[in-house]
């Protein structure tokens, strides 16, 4: 069975992962060997986007908004996306299910003509300018990669797939998040929860500390004889430190214990324990292991990571890879100077990347970013704190604009308002990604 380009686009354009999956089960309808069948003919130009998360969905949409003559195919392994932002609130019991954190892509197709292919990207060939997927091979003029993160499991002995089922990371939102919540619910009052935090940089610098707040809140409300111990590989709280510490002292003093400079390097899943650099063992009833991270596996396989072998160096204006021409990397996977690895950063990076991809494809001048990031963290059921900054390009690097942001007041005088702003932020950013 062969598939001509028009049929392929019809299938993909209807966001019909199922239709494509159907083809795949009938035979190699769109396979690595049949690229010619689905390549643009004539003058059509194509941007392929890998990943439909915080970076990818926005990049795909904005390329189409800026130039309708460019075909955009966004490839995502799932038919929906669950937001990590606010998943800590679910773990803490403030949100009852993941529905408010879940988006689908049908409106990106209907409103903007983004073609969504539900498939796993298995290889990228920068010389041939092709992307190999489980449903065939696509040619691109420019490729935007936003695959998020994967784990450096070689630095966490014993933490394999089976161990993840016993000691969830919950650092990619979805089933792992639900599992951690269920384990907390099943734990007896008087139990011990253990969390491990990797050395920075990792996805969402304040995320682990917000999670500590939400787990502590749940324990305080439902299992007050229980304890939470955080083992942080960093020497001290690495984001909004003074604010988090005040929150812990004021709200969770009898429940939460922070231990800095404790790098977990091994797990014993059967015993539900973690081991700190071969010396100390800490056992829990519920154990949340957040492993060290690097750019999503496909970015590594595509040869996009730099000398550190973890993250992808990029041009700070265009986000074009320093390793391969015509490939751009945004979001957690890239090295974006002073910008943290956050959903809001990924959103900002996606917009400037899309603008410059369109400019480059049309022979127009590129523009430096004026990017923004705000990270809200919930502390109690109705209080949140934040860190904010505006970013620009200076001397070939992305830097924070002096005095452009800052952190919340230390007296928590705005914390109730910030909890409301946080909800509004989430609603806006998820709506932008899915309409
Ligand atoms: C607990 C927690 C709380 C957080 N809170 C906040 C917050 O409050 N504010 C904030 O701004 N950020 C927050 N973040 C960070 C935010 O989630 C990430 O920074 C953001 O998701 C990065 O966007 P991305 O596009 O790089 O990756 P993602 O959003 O993870 O998207 C990557 C997508 O690529 C897909 N993909 C990967 N590889 C392939 C492949 N080979 N083939 C097909 N598809 C593939 C994945 O399925 C995924 O959908 C939080 C993170 C965590 C873990």
The CB of 60 under 6 Å from ligand 1? The reply is no
Q: What is the pLDDT, as a whole number, of residue 254?
A: 95
The structure's pTM equals 0.92
The CA 114 to ligand 1 mean position distance, Å, reads: 20
The CB of 54 under 6 Å from ligand 1? The reply is yes
Q: What is the pLDDT, as a whole number, of residue 194?
A: 98
Homologous superfamily of domain range 153-291: FAD/NAD(P)-binding domain (3.50.50.60)
The CB of 76 under 6 Å from ligand 1? The reply is yes
Whose CA is closest to atom 37 on ligand 1?
A: 147
Q: What is the pLDDT, as a whole number, of residue 31?
A: 30
Q: Report DSSP letters for 254-276, one per residue.
A: TTEEEE-S--EEEEETTTTEEEE
Q: Which atom of ligand 1 is nearest to the CA of 56?
A: 25
The CB of 121 under 6 Å from ligand 1? The reply is yes
Q: What is the pLDDT, as a whole number, of residue 172?
A: 98
CB contact at 8 A, 212 and 195:
yes
The CA 294 to ligand 1 mean position distance, Å, reads: 12
The CB of 342 under 6 Å from ligand 1? The reply is yes
Q: Which atom of ligand 1 is nearest to the CA of 208?
A: 1
Q: Which CATH architecture has domain 5-150+295-367?
A: 3-Layer(bba) Sandwich (3.50)
Cβ neighbours, 10 Å, residue 382? 11
Q: What is the pLDDT, as a whole number, of residue 2?
A: 31
The CB of 146 under 6 Å from ligand 1? The reply is yes
| Rg from Cα positions in the chain | 22
Cβ neighbours, 10 Å, residue 146? 32
Whose CA is closest to atom 33 on ligand 1?
A: 51
pLDDT in tens, the chain (435 residues): 233 344 334 334 333 332 232 222 222 223 333 334 444 545 589 999 999 999 999 999 999 999 999 999 999 999 999 999 999 999 999 999 999 999 999 999 999 999 999 999 999 999 999 999 999 999 999 999 999 999 999 999 999 999 999 999 999 999 999 999 999 999 999 999 999 999 999 999 999 999 999 999 999 999 999 999 999 999 999 889 999 999 999 999 999 999 999 999 999 999 999 999 999 999 999 999 999 999 999 999 999 999 999 999 999 999 999 999 999 999 999 999 999 999 999 999 999 999 999 999 999 999 999 999 999 999 999 999 999 999 999 999 999 999 999 999 999 999 999 999 999 999 999 999 999
The CB of 17 under 6 Å from ligand 1? The reply is no
Q: What is the pLDDT, as a whole number, of residue 43?
A: 59
Q: What is the pLDDT, as a whole number, of residue 239?
A: 85
The CB of 56 under 6 Å from ligand 1? The reply is yes
The CA 125 to ligand 1 mean position distance, Å, reads: 24
The CA 33 to ligand 1 mean position distance, Å, reads: 31
The CB of 133 under 6 Å from ligand 1? The reply is no
Cβ neighbours, 10 Å, residue 328? 29
> Best mutation site among 346, 371, 375 for ligand 1, i.e. most ligand atoms within 8 A of its Cβ?
346
Q: What is the pLDDT, as a whole number, of residue 36?
A: 40
Burial class (CB in 10 A: 0-12, 13-18, 19+), 170: buried
Whose CA is closest to atom 5 on ligand 1?
A: 85
Provide CB contacts within 8 A for 267, sequence distance 6+: 156, 157, 158, 159, 163, 167, 273, 274, 275, 287, 289
The CB of 171 under 6 Å from ligand 1? The reply is yes
Q: Which atom of ligand 1 is nearest to the CA of 211?
A: 1
> Best mutation site among 147, 206, 349, 425 for ligand 1, i.e. most ligand atoms within 8 A of its Cβ?
147
Whose CA is closest to atom 7 on ligand 1?
A: 85
The CA 53 to ligand 1 mean position distance, Å, reads: 6
Look at residues 210, 216, 203, 212 and name the one whose alpha carbon lies nearest to residue 172.
203
Whose CA is closest to atom 4 on ligand 1?
A: 85
The CB of 168 under 6 Å from ligand 1? The reply is no
Domain ranges of the chain: 5-150+295-367, 153-291
Domains 5-150+295-367 and 153-291 share a fold: yes
Structure tokens at 316: 């700070």
Vertex 360, ends 354 and 362: CA angle to 5°?
Answer: 105
Tens-digit pLDDT profile for residues 242-252:
999 999 999 99
The CB of 379 under 6 Å from ligand 1? The reply is no
For residue 194, is the peptide bond before it cis, meaning its omega torsion is within 30 degrees of 0? no
Whose CA is closest to atom 31 on ligand 1?
A: 53
Alpha-carbon distance of 80 to 99, in angstroms, equals 11
Structure tokens at 326: 């015509």
Alpha-carbon distance of 23 to 30, in angstroms, equals 8
Count Cβ neighbours within 10 Å for each residue of 291-307 and write b for 16 or more, e otherwise: bbbbbbebbbebebbbe
The CA 343 to ligand 1 mean position distance, Å, reads: 7
The CB of 90 under 6 Å from ligand 1? The reply is no
CB contact at 8 A, 406 and 388:
yes
Q: What is the pLDDT, as a whole number, of residue 33?
A: 34
């Amino acid at each position: 069975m062969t598939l001509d380009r028009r049929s392929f686009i019809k299938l993909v354009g209807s966001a019909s992962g199922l239709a494509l999956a159907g083809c795949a089960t009938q035979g190699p309808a769109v396979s690595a060997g049949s690229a010619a069948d689905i390549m643009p003919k004539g003058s059509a130009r194509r941007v392929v986007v890998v990943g439909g998360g915080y970076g990818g969905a926005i990049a795909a949409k904005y390329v189409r908004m800026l130039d309708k003559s460019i075909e955009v195919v966004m490839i995502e392994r799932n038919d929906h996306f669950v937001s990590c932002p606010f998943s800590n609130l679910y773990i803490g019991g403030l949100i009852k299910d993941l529905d408010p954190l879940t988006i689908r892509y049908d409106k990106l197709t209907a409103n903007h003509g983004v073609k969504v292919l539900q498939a796993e990207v298995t290889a990228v060939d920068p010389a041939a300018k092709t992307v190999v997927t489980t449903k065939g091979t696509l040619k691109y003029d420019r490729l935007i990669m936003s695959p998020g993160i994967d784990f450096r499991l070689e630095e966490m002995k014993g933490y394999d797939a089976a161990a993840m089922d016993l000691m969830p990371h919950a650092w990619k939102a979805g089933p792992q998040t639900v599992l951690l919540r269920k384990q907390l619910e099943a734990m007896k009052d008087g139990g011990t929860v253990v969390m491990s935090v990797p050395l920075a940089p990792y996805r969402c610098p304040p995320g682990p500390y917000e999670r500590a707040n939400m787990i502590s809140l749940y324990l305080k409300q439902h299992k007050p004889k229980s304890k939470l111990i955080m083992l942080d590989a960093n020497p001290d709280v690495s984001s909004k430190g003074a604010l988090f510490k005040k929150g812990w002292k004021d709200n969770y003093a009898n429940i939460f214990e922070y231990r800095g400079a404790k790098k977990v390097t091994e797990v014993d899943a059967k015993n539900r324990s973690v081991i700190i650099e071969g010396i100390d063992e800490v056992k829990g009833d519920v154990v949340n292991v957040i492993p060290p991270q690097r750019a999503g596996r496909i970015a590594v396989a595509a040869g996009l990571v730099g000398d550190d072998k973890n993250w992808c160096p990029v041009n700070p204006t265009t986000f074009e890879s320093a390793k391969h021409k015509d490939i751009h990397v945004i979001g957690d996977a890239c090295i974006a100077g002073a910008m943290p690895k956050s959903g809001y950063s990924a959103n900002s990076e996606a917009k400037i990347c899309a603008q410059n991809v369109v400019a480059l494809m049309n022979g127009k001048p590129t523009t430096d970013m004026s990017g923004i990031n705000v990270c809200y963290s919930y502390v109690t059921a109705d209080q949140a704190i934040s860190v904010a900054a505006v970013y620009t390009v200076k001397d070939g690097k992305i830097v924070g604009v002096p005095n452009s942001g800052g952190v919340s007041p230390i007296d928590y005088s705005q914390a109730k308002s910030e909890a409301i702003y946080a909800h509004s932020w989430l609603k806006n950013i998820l709506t932008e990604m899915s309409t």
